Structure 1
């Protein structure tokens, strides 16, 4: 096999893995603190893409400026959804929680269909085609920037959890809800913060992808599934695990596209890894604690 082709595949997989990591970090934070599986997670990525698309089309705002604007917007959206929809079912059986988030996913997809039509959209920026060539491997600037920002955001969230009072409170709520209440923490507010941060992460990932990925109402579903694979690989609740798992799954998916008989079969490798992990190490590489 041509070494340049293999190198191109590995670089593409690693850059995609940074995005996967940020999406999974948001999912694993929500699960780590609240113990709820958000099956609508990828649909907030879709909303992030449309957010950047609309700001660009209507006001000419660059996607990377939109990335900054998306953080408070999607944090507030997550806070509101947690308060209005998620909080009433936190003590309900898991089946009810799953049905609620699946219903939220369908609602967001159909709302996007109604507002934007099922047509695929794309956001073209003047620098979108700029690349650098290193040892024969072409590297897209927009993909590099997206991956670097995604990894930086993931690392920033980890440092926030480890080094701030709010972060320590979130970890306390994740470790022992009743104990956190006993020492005076307002657990419901911490849950709002956790859900808001998780949605801000996935919304930011969607904005970062708009210069090089198509936009459509159904675009979020594959990322929901991939985020679950990444989170399970790293250990549901582990942010470092989600970061490392993102790069691993990005590589596996990219190499699968190269080696599988058809590029459309690339996710066979991804979900094969998912099944093996569930069978051999269901707690993931880093366990299930919020770290």
Structure 2
């Protein structure tokens, strides 16, 4: 029983980690309808910024959030304004995807040029301290990530449901042409949404950097799972992304223990494919999609 509880805890902690990366990605897709293949590289940039702020100023890694989140918001907003927006009227939507792939490659090579291929380790500052809760042991940093993922999901839902800007974002997601007729500046909404999505991954970067070594390719590992989570939960659904993350985290944890660490990804993608066969729209489908506007 102790083993089961530990595996459950590990799975939930891992799910929280995936969720905090996937939330920004699903927000961007749900509103802008663009698959951002540079999302993982945004995470990498945020982790390097956290490393630099922590090393240069000697501050706790979490304090870096006051620098990293605004910086990632700006990067996301500029990406939408300068790269994605000029391509929004293109006949082939794949051009936008290719643009984000190109941005991803450029950011990886820029990081290699500036930092080299060496791993950068952000000081843990006590975030690797194990905490025992009965028979379960988790790291303090893992708990922080899990709590932050819940807060981020709830905060975004409240923002989208209860603010004028949030309602404007949901209106654009539902029908761009109708939103324009109602006087909503759609281009501005897209820029804002892309910036918020990137800012979310900035929060993830600050929380993840003390627990994982930073390298130019670190984003690839996280974003691959984030794409699975987004599709599994239901494209554009923030609650779906969170639930999907927990499902993937639990599968990864139990498969790694009972099947073997080298078979974890096989189990994850196997269950992922099975769920999509049974429910192609994802776990939450359209019912909780961001494009749904409450009356």
TM-score tier (shorter): over 0.9
Partner residue, 2:240: 241
**Contact 2:121/2:213 (<8 A) preserved:** yes
Question: Where does structure 1 differ by over 6 angstroms across 4 or more consecutive aligned residues?
Answer: none
Q: CA deviation at 1:86?
A: 0.7
Partner residue, 1:129: 128
Instruction: Give the Cα–Cα distance (whole angstroms) in 1 for the partners of residues 45 and 77 of structure 2.
Output: 16
Instruction: Give the Cα–Cα distance (whole angstroms) in 1 for the partners of residues 117 and 255 of structure 2.
Output: 28
**Contact 1:173/1:187 (<8 A) preserved:** yes
Q: Matched residue of 1:132: which SS?
A: strand
* Unmatched segments (≥5 aa) in structure 1: none
**Contact 2:54/2:123 (<8 A) preserved:** no
**Contact 2:124/2:211 (<8 A) preserved:** no
Instruction: Give the Cα–Cα distance (whole angstroms) in 2 for the partners of residues 63 and 239 of structure 1.
Output: 26
Partner residue, 2:53: 55
Q: CA deviation at 1:23?
A: 1.6
* Unmatched segments (≥5 aa) in structure 2: none
What is the root-mean-square deviation in Å for CA atoms of aligned residues?
A: 1.5
Q: Matched residue of 1:121: which SS?
A: coil
Q: CA deviation at 1:269?
A: 1.5
Q: 1:260 to 1:118 in 2, by over 3 A?
A: farther
Partner residue, 2:2: 4
Partner residue, 1:117: 116
Instruction: Give the Cα–Cα distance (whole angstroms) in 1 for the partners of residues 165 and 62 of structure 2.
Output: 27
Per-residue CA distance 1:103-147 (angstroms, 9 max, x = gap): 111111111111111122222233133222122221211110122
Q: 1:67 to 1:254 in 2, by over 3 A?
A: farther
Partner residue, 2:31: 33
Instruction: Give the Cα–Cα distance (whole angstroms) in 2 for the partners of residues 244 and 138 of structure 1.
Output: 23
Partner residue, 2:154: 155
Counterpart selection for 1:87 from 74, 85, 88: 85
Partner residue, 2:73: 75
Q: Does 1:251 align with 2:250?
A: yes
Q: Matched residue of 2:262: which SS?
A: helix
Give the TM-score of the pair, scaled to structure 1. 0.94
Instruction: Give the Cα–Cα distance (whole angstroms) in 2 for the partners of residues 94 and 10 of structure 1.
Output: 41
Instruction: Give the Cα–Cα distance (whole angstroms) in 2 for the partners of residues 42 and 7 of structure 1.
Output: 31
Instruction: Give the Cα–Cα distance (whole angstroms) in 1 for the partners of residues 264 and 144 of structure 2.
Output: 25
Partner residue, 1:17: 15
